[in-house]
Structures are given as structure tokens and as C-alpha cells.
Amino acid sequence: MNVTSKTQICDINKPVPLINALMQIRQGRTGAEADIFIKELAKNDTVAQKQVVKLLAKGSSALVFETSDNKILKLTIGNHFPMNRPQESFDVPIFEHTKIGKVHCYIEEKLYQHGLSEAFVAEIKNNIKKAGYRTFDIYDGDVNQIGLSRDGKLYLLDPECAGYKTIFHAVLAKVKRLLMKFK
């Protein structure tokens, strides 16, 4: 997901159920993403009724909300890890993951983003490369793609910024994960 802004896109003003927020968004945007989210989330009352207070970001197939309990709720069409790569230490920890049809819902810690410097971006890019991945859509000084947790750990906000170097690497990683399951 390429985030369009590091600041809030719209303020819902008071906590509302996620499904209501999606209906408001659908009225103000073109495309089928909001309709897909509404259709799929209607199948799960627990997620549909999750209270959200802000729409923070939107991408080509994702929406990011702040919840009333000060967490982040990411909705994506499909897995938000590119080519189903595993979650890595540089990715924001996921508290909860729910899949409803083709929609994935991720609950994550809300990270601090103000005052981060270019050195932090370089550190994240270095961590991605050390883990054997290639960086995408994260440029020098691109601080809107990173965040700092309450315990001071630096994370990549957009998992699509770290991907396999080639298709061969993706297949090799999948084979390795399968072999590890059988050991």
C-alpha cells in the first residue's frame, strides 16, 4: 500500500462503527475498493462494528484507520505482505489478523512518526537488506514510511516497501518455509 499522506485524511469526529465509516468513504470516492470492503466486512459483525475515529491513509487496495482504542486498523484486499512474504522483524507487529473473504484486517500498534530523521530511514532500509529483501517505494528521507514504537523500536509501516529480490527468491523462500514445517 502506498500511503497518500502521513497525516490524517479525514476526521470522523467521534467513534463510529467501521462499516459506517466505509459507507461515508464510499460516498466520497470512486472505485470499487470501498464496496468490496463493505460487502466482505458485512459478513463479520465483530470487525464491522469496530470503532474507528480517523481515516489516516489510503492506498490502491488498502485503507488505514485509527481505532477508538488508539490502535491502527489496516484493511487490505489480499495479503498486505508482497508475494505472501512472512512478517519480518522490521515490520510493525500485528496484534490481530482476520481474513474475511478476500479482505485482510490487521490490528497494529499506533506508531510515533513526528520528528523522525533521514537516519531512521537509512536504518530501516539497511534492516530490510540485511533480511535478504529489496526496498521498493522507500526513498532517502521518506520518513512517512516508518514509525517508532512505544518501546523505541523502529518499524516499516508499509510492508510493500520490502519485497523479494526476484521471483526465484520468493519461490526459494516458500520452499524453505515448507521444509522447515516438516522438520
Q: What was the pLDDT predicted at 82? A: 81
Cα separation, 27 vs 118, in Å, equals 37
Quote the pLDDT of residue 169. Answer: 64
pLDDT at position 13 = 66
Residue 8 has what pLDDT?
45
Q: Helices marked H in the chain — which ranges? A: 18-28, 33-41, 45-48, 118-130, 167-182
- 46-to-18, 100, 142 alpha-carbon distances in Å: 10, 11, 35
What does the pLDDT read at residue 107?
96
With CA atoms as reference, report the closest residue to 138 among 114, 152, 157, 154: 157
What is the residue-wise DSSP string for 40-66?
HHTT-HHHHT-EEEEEEEE-SSEEEEE
Structure-block grid coordinates of residue 42:
458485512
Domains of the chain: 10-109 (3.30.200)
pLDDT one-digit tens code per residue, 2-15: 333 344 445 566 89
Tens of pLDDT, residue by residue over 162-175, are 987 777 666 776 77
Weakly modelled stretches of the chain, pLDDT under 70: 1-13, 28-32, 168-170, 173, 177
In degrees, rounded to 5, the angle at the alpha carbon of residue 52 between the alpha carbons of residues 47 and 55 is 115
State how far the Cα of 165 lies from the Cα of 133, in Å rounded to an integer.
6
